[in-house]
A = this chain, B = another copy of it.
């Protein structure tokens, strides 16, 4: 295992410390229990928006703390949900008096830890709502599974709900907008290589030199199936077809197309995938009105990508376009 780290057990603490130093104008790092909040503190009267989850998905979530997006983020150990003792002070730090919305990716660990924290905050009189993100169509949603996972679509939920909170929407509205994004966003990913969790020291799964894992999550979990080496155009189709189908995308609909890198894939390859996806969508008669290409929800140094579609309407488009000023996403400011 070769990594730019010191002690494998100090990876998250040191990385978040460096992040805080590099972006001291935007964020404040609270070391123990570990969470990140906006440099200016909670905005009085504004609905707070927080998220969190295991580390290893950078810039998710800490990179999205700032104006127009999150008020606080709670990074857990690598690929491990944070615990209530960190989620609770982060929620309190995000509260400007109008309540707090928690954006939670649908994993048993995240759900349980955020649920516990939310109950405890509620008990203290803080109004807390939860928006559960489950955009991964690789996982069948049924009574017999833990339900769909939350993956890269989370970034879009955070951006849009963050913009709603920033423009002054109330708690119900911010929660509703978050749920509306969840209802209209779908993703699916693939891996060319596994990743190595620092404290494990071994790759998350084994993959042959000529194998590609389709339907992976963002924790180095193995996917649903393996295929041989295929061209980017074919791989893009493997991802985009189930996404479009699950979304029930009809001709003439407007979408945001998000090609996300898993951390170790060069940007140039993500654009090759973008090209393939844009062609498929054009053939379907869908209108790609907004795009996002880059490493926004990663799995350490994994090579691979995911595709996300968000069905747009005027409201979502306006909230997407609204100014945002965070370490990892910035425009209009």
Contacts and interface: CB of A to CB of B under 8 A. Distances in A.
A59 interface: yes
B11 A268 contact: yes
A284 interface: no
B2 A271 contact: no
A322 interface: no
B59 A15 contact: no
B21 A266 contact: no
B21 A278 contact: yes
Contact of A268 (B15, B232, B271, B332): B15
A268 B58 contact: yes
A18 B274 CA distance: 6
B229 A4 contact: no
Copies in the complex: 2
Contacts of A273: 4, 18
Chain A, interface SS category: mixed
A301 B156 CA distance: 26
Interface stretch (A65-73, A215-223, A291-299, A309-317): A291-299
A178 interface: no
B266 A300 contact: yes
A263 B294 CA distance: 11
Given A15-B272, A17-B275, A271-B16, A301 B265 contact: yes
Contacts of A55: 268
Nearest to A302: B266
A22 B293 contact: yes
Interface of A: 2-7, 11-12, 14-19, 21-23, 55-56, 58-59, 63, 192-193, 209-210, 212, 229, 231-233, 235, 259, 263-276, 278, 288, 291, 293, 295, 298, 300-301, 303-305, 330-333
Task: Kindly list the 8 A-B residue pairs having the minimum CB-CB distance in the complex, ordered from nearest.
Answer: A18-B275, A18-B271, A4-B269, A18-B274, A58-B267, A6-B231, A264-B264, A15-B268
